[in-house]
Amino acid sequence: MLHPLITSVLELTPARKIGIPERLIRIALPFVIGLLYYIPLLPIIGYDPWLILGGLMVAYIIPPAGKESVIPIGIALGFPWWLMACTIALMDVLTGLFMALNFDVALKIPGLGRWMRKFIANGEEFFGKRPWLERFYLTGVILFVMVPLQGSGGVGATLVGRMMGMSPWRVLLAITIGAFSGCTLIALGSQAMWELILENPLVGITVLAIVIAGLGILYLFYRIRLEKRH
């Protein structure tokens, strides 16, 4: 059962009025942290890779790109697996931090706000398709962030956690654990696959095709099971 907070979007807004100075700090903080991470990488990785990494970071926050595509692309372009894992995980964490500090503001952002309201309005249907989220509570949100699905980043995880009645900071903790765990697994798998392709292209491409086909079959069975359940 969903938490009563979702009965009205207005109930998700802060209980007290936030002044302009505090609001500006809340909005700016995630961006400042992101810049403090990104700017020092310039002398470490070089100018051209630095620009490419920045492009990958921007691409990640624009649908339909996800960690399952951006991380392998970054590794194929020559970035270390750990750098791609940390960078994309940080993007999820910073998105979650922005949502934790500015949930009411996010609801007013054109496009994003409309998507969030629709997400909340369809909450019962969403959880009906993913009963394991409510069953495992905090762990459910962690798994939701780990699984590379559309909407499973910081924004989607925040909405899921808030609809389950979790505090913003517990949601942020779940996002942090899930993001770094999921991105690390994807990065390690991508690195191993890329090394195999470089060592033996035919074998590597064959294994990659088998993995993609296997994942596609699993997803197909998942969709069939959902349709039968409904």
Which residues are within 8 A (CB) of 193 and not within 5 positions of it... i.e. 6 or more apart? 72, 204, 207, 208, 211
Interval 167-224: pLDDT, tens: 888 888 989 999 999 999 999 999 988 888 888 888 778 877 787 777 667 667 656 6
Interval 92-151: pLDDT, tens: 999 889 988 888 888 888 888 888 888 777 776 777 776 766 666 778 788 888 876 655
Categorize the per-residue pLDDT at 226 as very low, low, confident or very high, splitting at 50, 70 and 90: low
Token code pair at residue 125: 């249907």
Q: What's the Cα-to-Cα distance from 122 to each of 2, 10, 13, 94, rounded to whole Å?
A: 11, 16, 19, 25
pLDDT at 166: 81
Interval 29-39: pLDDT, tens: 999 999 999 99
**Is-contact 171 65, C-beta < 8 A?**
no
Mapped onto helix, strand or coil, the DSSP state of residue 182 is helix
The pTM of this model reads 0.79
Between vectors from CA 24 to CA 20 and to CA 27, what angle results, nearest 5°?
135
Kindly report the backbone phi and psi dihedral angles of residue 95, in degrees, each rounded to the nearest multiple of 5, phi listed first.
-65, -45
Q: By mean pLDDT, which of 17-21, 49-53, 70-74, 214-218 is the weakest?
A: 214-218
